[in-house]
Amino acid sequence: MTTVERGPVTSEQAARESKLLAGVPTDLLVGGRWVPSSSEERFAVEDPATGLELTTVADAGVEDGAAALDAAVAAQATWGRTAPRERAEVLRRAFDAVVARTDDLALLMTLEMGKSLAESRGEVTYGAEFLRWASEQAAHVAGRYLPAPDGKQRVLVAKKPAGPCLLITPWNFPLAMATRKIAPALAAGCTVVLKPAAETPLTALLFAQVLQEAGVPDGVVNVVPCTRAGDVTGPLIADPRLRKLSFTGSTAVGKQLLKQAADGVLRTSMELGGNAPFLVFEDADLDAAVEGAMLAKLRNGGEACTSANRFYVHSAVAEDFSRRLAERVAAVKVSRGTEDGAQVGPLINEKGRSKVADLVDDAVSRGARVLTGGSRVEGPGYFYAPTVLADVALGSRLLAEEIFGPVAPVATFDTEDEAVALANDTEYGLVAYAYTGSTARALRLVERLETGMLGINTGVISNPAAPFGGVKQSGIGREGGEEGIEEYLETVYAGIADPWG
């Protein structure tokens, strides 16, 4: 069984962590005030690298959720009428403030989520960019005015803030999933209640404090971490004052929320699970494909909705690709994310690690060859060795389910038709990756693959100017791009009598 160098946490590092944790707000943010939960209950947040408690956070209950929605509703009219330029400037200050707090936000994320500090810093940059992008969009929301085709009316199309929103976010990108929702919501003039994941509430709470300092008015952003998510969010979803639900998380929970939202015909955006295929054609640049595979698989330790989940490689190059990928994966530094040079940290919890282990065991029992990894890492925390599996049999569970860990299963194909059929053989459709030297093939894949996003000869996609989102059971709606802000705007059409008639 693999062991990893976790290294001692130096006393200097320990002091830095304690000081940061002591300064992070751990209560609920409701109407601009930091308050304990009405029950005074708190829950522990743990470091997945050690399994030890970092701190405790107020555990919102039903009343606290209701108070947060009251505050968002009370702030809506004023924020919705705040001049777009003023909203833009608040968001721009928020961007600057987040960037200025990069070190703190990154360390906090690493502590509660486990990813390496380098990746956490990358997430701060990525997450902050949504604030800058939204600040640039805020003053550009426009309607239109045109004559009806028969000339008998004028058509006025106006855009309005959708109204108070409930935002529910997952633990894997504790900052970016929050900024990707809060930034466009605020730009559009909406107020929000944020329910962060129970595993990673601290980043969201510090971010909320940064927003306050940047001048976000009281009640515009409310934050209610909790351990009984459904109990707290159910009544909010049923409340007719709530006008929008935006969720990022698993497809299973997304489906439940869609059912709840249907009762009130509540507007929803759903950023759900993925099962990304990574296709390597025989005409691909193999060095580039291996490099891209490292990024697409090991970014965020494989705990990303965009992680390459299934590698389908042309049989002429599969052996070469698998061997080279395994060499690179075997050399990855696995450790607590705060260690120098850390690349892959622990998984989020034992449940996540057991799922990864079960999926690998299932594939191996069906004949997969373990080229590297293939087991848990001994010791504290929830580490799993980065793994490459070759000759994975079709029908193995990990080709159908989200692995959410550092495991790369490789299977083969012989024709483009076969590759496309394998890639599309899933209920998910978030992202796909393809490596090919043929431009025509790349353009055919844009048309043939059932996916919301496609990386061509690149292992990482997503930026604030691009519409992020999925098709099929990977979701509804987009975050980022021109489309992102539309999720938080209502369209009103006024028909006006012919001014000449």
Min dist CB 424 to ligand NAP, Å, is 18
Min dist CB 147 to ligand NAP, Å, is 40
The answer to whether residue 168 forms part of the interface with ligand NAP (CB under 6 A) is yes
Structure tokens at 259: 């059912």
Closer to ligand NAP by CB, 161 or 225: give it.
225
The answer to whether residue 68 forms part of the interface with ligand NAP (CB under 6 A) is no
Question: Binding residues for ligand NAP, how many (CB under 6 A)?
Answer: 30
The answer to whether residue 419 forms part of the interface with ligand NAP (CB under 6 A) is no
**What gap in Å lies between CA 202 and CA 205, rounded to an integer?**
5
The answer to whether residue 475 forms part of the interface with ligand NAP (CB under 6 A) is yes
Residues facing 268 on adjacent strands: 245
The answer to whether residue 309 forms part of the interface with ligand NAP (CB under 6 A) is no
Q: What's the distance, Cα to Cα, between the start and end of the chain in Å?
A: 84
Taking residues 175 to 194 in sequence order and writing x for each that binds ligand NAP by CB under 6 A, - otherwise, the string is --x-----------------
Burial category of 247 from C-beta neighbours within 10 Å (exposed 0-12, middle 13-18, buried 19 and up): buried
φ, ψ for residue 265, nearest 5 deg: 45, 50
Among 229, 266, 313, 434, binds ligand NAP (CB under 6 A): 229
Of 248, 193, 249, residue with least CA distance to 225: 193
The answer to whether residue 402 forms part of the interface with ligand NAP (CB under 6 A) is yes
Structure tokens at 439: 């431009």
Min dist CB 487 to ligand NAP, Å, is 13
Q: Summarize the chain as % helix, strand, coil (round to 5).
A: 40, 20, 35
Closer to ligand NAP by CB, 100 or 476: give it.
476
Are the beta carbons of 399 and 310 closer than 8 angstroms? yes
Among 59, 64, 123, 271, binds ligand NAP (CB under 6 A): 271
Among 76, 203, 233, 309, binds ligand NAP (CB under 6 A): 233
The answer to whether residue 430 forms part of the interface with ligand NAP (CB under 6 A) is yes
Among 151, 230, 437, 495, binds ligand NAP (CB under 6 A): 230
Dump strand ranges (E) for 176-325.
192-195, 221-223, 244-248, 267-271, 276-280, 308-314
Helix (H) or strand (E) holding 303: none
Structure tokens at 358: 């079960």
Comparing every residue's Cβ against ligand NAP, the nearest one is 249
Of 197, 177, 204, 195, residue with least CA distance to 349: 197
Catalytic residue, from 271, 303, 402, 487: name it: 271
The answer to whether residue 170 forms part of the interface with ligand NAP (CB under 6 A) is yes
**What gap in Å lies between CA 469 and CA 466, rounded to an integer?**
10
Closer to ligand NAP by CB, 198 or 460: give it.
198
Among 133, 171, 281, 382, binds ligand NAP (CB under 6 A): 171
**What gap in Å lies between CA 167 and CA 221, rounded to an integer?**
10
Q: β-strands 144-147, 489-497: how paired?
A: unpaired
The answer to whether residue 116 forms part of the interface with ligand NAP (CB under 6 A) is no
Min dist CB 157 to ligand NAP, Å, is 29
**What gap in Å lies between CA 71 and CA 62, rounded to an integer?**
14
**What gap in Å lies between CA 279 and CA 290, rounded to an integer?**
11
Among 172, 335, 387, 412, binds ligand NAP (CB under 6 A): 172
Closer to ligand NAP by CB, 189 or 464: give it.
464
- Contacts (CB under 6 A) with ligand NAP, residues 198-227: 198-199, 227
Contacts of 438 (CB under 8 A, 6+ apart): 281, 283
The question of whether 271 is a catalytic residue gets the answer yes
The site for ligand NAP (CB under 6 A) is made up of 168-173, 177, 195, 197-199, 227, 229-230, 233, 248-250, 253, 256-257, 271-274, 305, 402, 430, 470, 475
Catalytic residues: 271
